[in-house]
Amino acid sequence: MQVIKHGLGGRMSNGEMDQREPPEPCAEAAFSDIASPIVDEAIEQAKGVASDPSAEGLHQLRITMRRLRALWWSYRPLLDAGENTRQRDFFRSLADSAGKARDYDILIELLKLQQKDAKVLPPEISDARQEALDAGREVLSNPEMKTLLLEALSQTSGALVARQDRQPLQTFSDSRVTASEKQLRKRVRRASQAKRSDVAAFHDVRKAGKKARYLLELFGPVLSGGHRRTLNRLKKIQKRFGALNDVVASEKLLRDNASLLAAIAEPERTLKWFRKERERRLRAAAALLRKDWK
């Protein structure tokens, strides 16, 4: 993130430059500097999806949408709650559209891991993946997406600039990162005390960890103190809990699509493998919490 510090930059009457320190940037004015490059990135990624759709391109766009959701969440205390929720829901819907083809790619990878002797997977799975890819492309290549993204940026920037109160950017950033970390610790405690079968509790840790990481990365240059250790811990969560989520989401994808499950050789054996793999990855996730977040 690049934060542009706006100074007054005037000249003194004797022709010498005014050497006074520029005023500290405020959170309201900095929003556009932070958000605009991310919105531009999303628009360019959507163009790429429209011209040459790929699961990886859609995945990167999904990440960008998640970063926008995290940024809008951080500014929630300064904005109308209803409108902020609506905009974050919009980013989430785009992220979901972008992620469905990627979900099939992960399922395919896990099936190949499970069925080590299988050279070719059922065509039904490839067909379903292509349908998800086409559906994501249709949504994300729609010109209206660019319009809505720019409208969200303009509306939120305008609402913030119109505020009478001003908050120093560093103070604001510190408080919102602290709030995200507090939310994460709360969910970590819940997951630590939950039954091993409570996959939702672990999924909540993953989501909260992502949000905290995105905010640390977005506000990093202006935060007080160092956060390298926290970032490293969050990256571990994302990796290990992401591996758990891959299995959980893929198992659900199979159970929710009877035709796909029926197309797989020995479907009951496959579901049993997913169940055991889910339990193994749950144990690994729980061990990480005990080690790094006790």
Q: pLDDT tens per residue, the chain (294 residues)?
A: 444 433 223 333 444 444 555 567 899 999 999 999 999 999 999 888 888 878 788 889 999 999 999 999 999 999 999 999 999 999 999 999 888 888 999 999 999 888 875 567 789 998 999 998 888 888 888 889 999 999 999 999 999 999 988 999 999 999 999 999 999 999 999 998 887 778 999 999 999 999 999 999 999 889 987 788 888 889 999 999 999 999 999 999 999 999 989 998 889 999 999 999 999 999 999 999 888 776
Q: What is the pLDDT of residue 141?
A: 82
Q: What is the pLDDT of residue 207?
A: 94
The closest of 77, 250, 253, 257 to 167, measured between CA atoms, is 77
Q: Indicate the pTM of the whole model.
A: 0.86
Q: How far apart are CA 10 and CA 136, in angstroms?
A: 51
The dihedral formed by the CA atoms of 214, 220, 222 and 228, expressed in degrees to the nearest 10? 130
With residues binned 3-state (H G I as helix, E B as strand, rest as coil), the percentages for the chain, rounded to 5, are 80, 0, 20
For 229, counting Cβ atoms within 10 Å of its Cβ (0-12 exposed, 13-18 middle, 19+ buried), the class is exposed
Exposure class string for 121-154: b at 16+ Cβ within 10 A, else e:
bbeebeebbeebbeebbebbbeeebeeebeebbe
> How far is the first Cα of the chain from the last one, in angstroms, to the nearest whole number?
31
